[in-house]
Amino acid sequence: MIEQRIQQHFIDSADLKYQAAQPLSKPIAAGVQAMLACVTSGGKVLACGNGGSAADAQHFAAEFVGRFERERPELGAIALTTDSSILTAIGNDYDFNSIFSKQVRALGQPGDVLLAISTSGNSANILAAVEAAHQREMTVVAMTGKGGGKMGAALRETDVHICVPHDRTARIQEVHLLALHCLCDGVDSQLLGEQEIPT
């Protein structure tokens, strides 16, 4: 019984990835171009999310600063989820909804990119970070699911919205991870030249 349940998770995840490949390829490609323009002009990507999305923000930053699959010069990225002193100071002195927006206003510059990850699109602290990014003349690459929530409405025409067409958080997060790998691979292929995707 448990094995069948496990197998169903694999099947459902694979099915969603097949379904999402075509509709998400265009916004992911737009995200690649936004990040490429940012890093080639000396900018950086600030990444944020809560819970599993915080882990995704850190995963992305590690692959941008270190490497994805090929050796290349380091690319600027900071996960805004990692400094416990900043997070707890802002959360305590102000409120939890300000933990990312204050960092965006402190660190963000015009031309930088905010990678804002929220499976529901309704996380108040992510929405505040998007608003702060707009104040700093940054481009937002938003990753959501469940129709995009409030974040979909908060984005500008110059922003990028990668919205997974699903309502289940676990499935959305699985596609978010694949999309993050596509962003890293896309930037690398533009910087280093096309290379056949290893199987």
Give the H or E element holding residue 80. Answer: none
- 42: phi then psi, degrees, rounded to nearest 5: 85, 10
Structure tokens at 42: 């000396």
pTM: 0.96
Please name which of 176, 190, 185, 187 lies closest in space to residue 58, comparing C-alpha atoms.
Answer: 176
CB 104 within 8 A of CB 46: yes
* pLDDT single digits (tens) 48-97: 999 999 999 999 999 999 999 999 999 999 999 999 999 999 999 999 99
Please name which of 9, 68, 4, 2 lies closest in space to residue 35, comparing C-alpha atoms.
Answer: 68
Structure tokens at 125: 């602290």
- Amino acid residing at 4: Q
* pLDDT single digits (tens) 104-113: 999 999 999 9
92: which residues sit within 8 A by CB, 6+ positions away? none
DSSP 3-state helix, strand, coil percentages of the chain (rounded to 5)?
A: 60, 10, 30
